[in-house]
């Protein structure tokens, strides 16, 4: 059993979390970035107390389970996973047990939250709710196992089962979305780590620098330092453009359009940080200040991206340049230079650099 | 059609290819050379994929460096070993490049039919065989209203039927005034083409054969 379970875990479970990294990331931001723990307790107390509202959770968990089932059937049909059909030859009990554990791994996010909801129900003495949650979860784990076993026995069963997950193939993708698909497919770990670090830095800095007065400067310093981990994603964007899409250089793309596309991409990349800024920003500051901070962050990322097209980007002089730019930004914030002016200067500097360097730049891979 | 002046391309200080002066009139040109001789480097530079020293001017007035957008509208390129993001469908790429190069829907439909790629065009390119990828890259290379089409090894991984079709298509476009720079090891299949001249890339330069 250990061998079958190991193989299934390494293939199915790993691929599942890899494919849905962004889905979980957004879920984490929405559930734990926008809502505080006290909000969760309040919300779930209301839901379990009302009784019938728990049906909403059942619906969400069912949709999530359908997503898992669809993924698994699609996964088994891939050429490189054909060898998994041989697991059908294993003892029936072992196969069922292995798939049950795999399903537990895949369903774990729902299980963890369900346990939290159940604990609230226990505290309130609502044991019928606890029982219904337990029964629902039991069925959610057990029933798909029969579907998986059937899919292993009859390889053709999944032929039309995964249509909604391949739905994106039917729609024309805009240019700016190419990078996001690339992130999800090839750099999901980098995305997760950088976003996680950025969120931690931001929240930590907010705690240290938060004041009661309406001073904009601490928030701008939070942005300057807290958005730093996103620079790795800009590096990814740059290499994606110059490795995966190198032939795009033959296309008649106006540089201004290219620059604007990069700007829009970075604005989307930083949306989670904007949510965090609004959620945890200083109450004394006007509503538009987090938005200014966000645009400042987008400007910084764009400037860095444009800087990567400099000929010195591959050597240590570039690090010095970044350090100097960061010091200038820091000083500008400290001495209360108008934030709009800082953003304008940062964007203009990036634009000029981009126009001057783009066509003269060559991406070279260092040979060790 | 195309003029290279004081063209020089180096990689990390090592000379890859140097051409003091070269002029191509309209027509089909065959560029030969051993592996690693610098053919692809020359093609990539002409296509605008990489920087170089010197100048490349199209039709006597459109300098690649000074008018990058106008130049790229008129110069198309199909690479030797195409590689596309695996999550994009052939249709995604086709629509995108068609928009960029101002290709008409009729031209897109015609090329799709000529290269017989309808059956897989809506699938993600990650599921394509090398022959399918090659056909897609050739379709992309013919889109729009180019003055020059650069085909780097257009015949590799293609079957005989597709090879004959591409030869007919090249001749048709050439008759309509489009110039071609073609590199290929399989010259026999292209015998039917009215090649204006053949060049050999060797010893870091190019010479007429």
Mean pLDDT of A45-52: 81
Q: How far apart are CA A289 and CA A296, in angstroms?
A: 10
> Which ipTM value was assigned to this complex?
0.83
Contacts of B51 in chain A (CB under 8 A): 359-362
| CB-CB under 8 Å, B75 with A169 | no
| CB-CB under 8 Å, B77 with A172 | no
Q: How far apart are CA A228 and CA A206, in angstroms?
A: 15
Closest residue in chain B to residue A311, using alpha carbons only:
B51
Instruction: Say whether pLDDT at A367 is over 60.
Output: no
**Chain B contact present for A323, CB below 8 A:** no
Contact A242, A266 (CB under 8 A): no
Q: What is the pLDDT of residue A335?
A: 92
Q: Which residue has the higher pLDDT, A313 or B119?
A: B119
Nearest to A338 by CA among A279, A286, A292, A288: A292
Which residue from A245, A251, A362 is facing B50, i.e. has the nearest CB?
A362
The DSSP code for B124 is: B
Mean pLDDT of A196-211: 85
| CB-CB under 8 Å, B123 with A169 | yes
**Chain B contact present for A2, CB below 8 A:** no
Instruction: Say whether pLDDT at A62 is over 80.
Output: yes
Q: Where are the domains of chain A?
A: 2-161, 185-358
Q: Which residue has the higher pLDDT, B61 or A76?
A: B61
**Tokens of residue A127, six digits:** 């044991």
Q: How far apart are CA B179 and CA B76, in angstroms?
A: 10
Instruction: Say whether pLDDT at A43 is over 50.
Output: yes
pLDDT by position in tens, chain B (length 209): 899 999 999 887 889 999 999 999 999 999 988 888 889 999 999 999 999 999 999 999 999 999 999 999 999 999 988 888 888 889 989 998 998 899 999 999 999 999 999 988 988 888 888 889 999 999 999 999 999 999 998 888 888 888 888 889 999 999 999 999 998 766 656 777 888 888 998 888 998 88
Beta-bridge partners for A141: none
- H/E stretch holding B21 reads strand B14-24
Percent share of chain A, pLDDT over 90: 29
| CB-CB under 8 Å, A175 with B96 | yes
List the single best residue of A78, A168, A247 to mutate versus B (max B Cβ within 10 A): A247
Neighbours of B108 (CB within 10 A): 18
Q: What is the pLDDT of residue A368?
A: 45
Q: What is the pLDDT of residue A155?
A: 56
- H helices present in chain A, as ranges: 2-8, 14-19, 21-28, 37-50, 54-77, 92-123, 127-153, 177-186, 188-209, 217-226, 231-239, 255-269, 271-280, 289-307, 316-334, 339-357
Q: How far apart are CA A313 and CA A290, in angstroms?
A: 31
| CB-CB under 8 Å, A364 with B68 | no
List the single best residue of A167, A250, A315 to mutate versus B (max B Cβ within 10 A): A250
Contact A300, A329 (CB under 8 A): yes
Q: How far apart are CA B80 and CA B73, in angstroms?
A: 20
Contact A293, A226 (CB under 8 A): no
Q: How far apart are CA A116 and CA A119, in angstroms?
A: 5
Q: What is the pLDDT of residue A159?
A: 41
**Chain B contact present for A170, CB below 8 A:** yes
Contacts of B88 in chain A (CB under 8 A): 173, 178, 181
pLDDT confidence bin for A260, thresholds 50/70/90: very high
Which residue from A172, A252, A364 is facing B100, i.e. has the nearest CB?
A252
**Chain B contact present for A255, CB below 8 A:** yes
- H/E stretch holding A31 reads none
pLDDT confidence bin for A366, thresholds 50/70/90: low
**Chain A contact present for B109, CB below 8 A:** no
Rounded to the nearest 10 degrees, how much is the dihedral formed by the CA atoms of A171, A172, A176, A177? 30
Task: State the smallest CA–CA distance between residue A185 and chain B in angstroms.
Answer: 8
User: What pLDDT, in 10s, does the model give residues A5-39?
Assistant: 888 888 889 888 888 887 788 778 777 777 777 88
Which position has the token pair 């966000």?
A: A294
User: What pLDDT, in 10s, does the model give residues A106-163?
Assistant: 999 999 999 999 998 898 888 888 899 999 999 998 888 888 887 777 654 444 444 4
Q: What is the pLDDT of residue A32?
A: 76
- Can you list the positions of beta strands (E) in B36-189? 53-58, 62-63, 75-78, 148-152, 179-183
List the single best residue of B8, B93, B96, B140 to mutate versus A (max A Cβ within 10 A): B96
Contact B19, B34 (CB under 8 A): no
B62-63 and B75-78 strand pairing = unpaired
CA distances to A38, A137, A353 from A50, in Å: 19, 20, 59
Rounded to the nearest 10 degrees, how much is the dihedral formed by the CA atoms of B63, B69, B75, B77? 120
**Chain B contact present for A246, CB below 8 A:** yes
**Chain B contact present for A92, CB below 8 A:** no
B148-152 and B75-78 strand pairing = parallel
Closest residue in chain A to residue B143, using alpha carbons only:
A251
B28-32 and B53-58 strand pairing = unpaired
Task: State the smallest CA–CA distance between residue B164 and chain A in angstroms.
Answer: 26
Beta-bridge partners for B7: B19
């Amino acid at each position: 059993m250990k061998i079958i379970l190991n193989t299934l875990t390494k293939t199915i479970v790993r691929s599942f979390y890899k494919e849905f990294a962004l889905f979980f990331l957004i879920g984490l931001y929405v559930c734990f970035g926008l809502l505080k723990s006290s909000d969760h307790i309040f919300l779930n107390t209301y839901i379990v107390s009302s009784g019938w509202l728990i049906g909403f959770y059942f619906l969400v968990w069912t949709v999530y389970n359908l997503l898992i089932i669809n993924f698994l059937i699609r996964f088994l049909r891939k050429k490189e996973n054909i060898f998994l059909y041989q697991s059908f030859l294993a003892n029936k009990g072992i196969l069922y047990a292995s798939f049950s554990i795999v399903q537990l791994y895949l369903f774990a996010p729902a299980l963890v939250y369900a346990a939290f909801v159940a604990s609230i129900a226990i505290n309130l003495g609502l044991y019928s709710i606890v029982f219904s949650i337990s029964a629902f979860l039991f069925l959610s784990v057990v029933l798909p196992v029969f579907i998986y076993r059937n899919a292993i026995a009859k390889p053709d069963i999944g032929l039309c089962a995964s249509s909604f997950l391949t739905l994106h193939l039917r729609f024309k993708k805009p240019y700016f979305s190419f990078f996001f698909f690339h992130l999800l497919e090839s750099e999901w770990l980098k995305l997760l780590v950088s976003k996680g670090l950025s969120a931690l830095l931001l929240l930590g800095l907010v705690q240290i620098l938060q004041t009661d007065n309406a001073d904009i400067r601490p928030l701008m310093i939070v942005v300057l330092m807290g958005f730093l981990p996103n620079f790795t994603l800009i590096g990814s964007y740059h290499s994606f453009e110059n490795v995966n899409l190198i032939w795009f250089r033959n296309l008649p793309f106006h540089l201004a359009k290219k620059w604007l596309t990069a700007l829009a991409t970075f604005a989307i990349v930083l949306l989670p940080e904007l949510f965090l800024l609004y959620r945890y920003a200083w109450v004394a500051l006007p509503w538009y200040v987090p938005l200014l901070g966000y645009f400042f962050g987008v400007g910084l990322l764009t400037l860095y991206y444009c800087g990567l097209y400099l000929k010195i980007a591959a050597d240590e002089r570039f690090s010095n340049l970044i350090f100097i730019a960061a010091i200038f930004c820091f000083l500008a914030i400290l001495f209360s230079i108008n934030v709009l002016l800082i953003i304008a200067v940062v964007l203009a500097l990036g634009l000029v650099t981009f126009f001057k360097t783009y066509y003269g730049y060559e991406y070279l891979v260092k040979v060790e | 059609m195309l003029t290279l002046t004081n063209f020089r391309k180096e990689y990390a200080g090592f000379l890859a290819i140097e051409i003091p002066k070269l002029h191509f009139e309209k027509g089909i040109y065959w560029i030969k050379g051993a592996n690693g001789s610098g053919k692809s480097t020359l093609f990539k530079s002409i296509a605008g994929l990489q920087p170089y020293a010197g100048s490349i001017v199209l039709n006597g007035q459109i300098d690649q460096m000074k008018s990058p957008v106008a130049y790229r509208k008129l110069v198309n390129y199909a690479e030797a070993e195409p590689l596309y993001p695996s999550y994009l469908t052939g249709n995604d790429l086709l629509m995108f490049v068609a928009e960029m190069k101002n290709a008409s829907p009729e031209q897109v439909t015609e090329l799709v039919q000529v290269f017989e790629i309808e059956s897989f065009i809506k699938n993600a390119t990650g599921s394509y065989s090398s022959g399918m990828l090659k056909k897609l890259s050739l379709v992309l290379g013919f889109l729009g209203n180019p003055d020059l089409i650069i085909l780097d090894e257009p015949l590799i991984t293609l079957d005989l039927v597709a090879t004959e079709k591409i030869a007919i298509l090249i001749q048709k476009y050439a008759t309509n005034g489009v110039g071609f720079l073609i590199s290929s090891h399989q010259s026999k299949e292209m015998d039917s083409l009215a090649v204006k001249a053949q060049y050999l890339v060797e010893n870091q330069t190019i010479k007429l054969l």
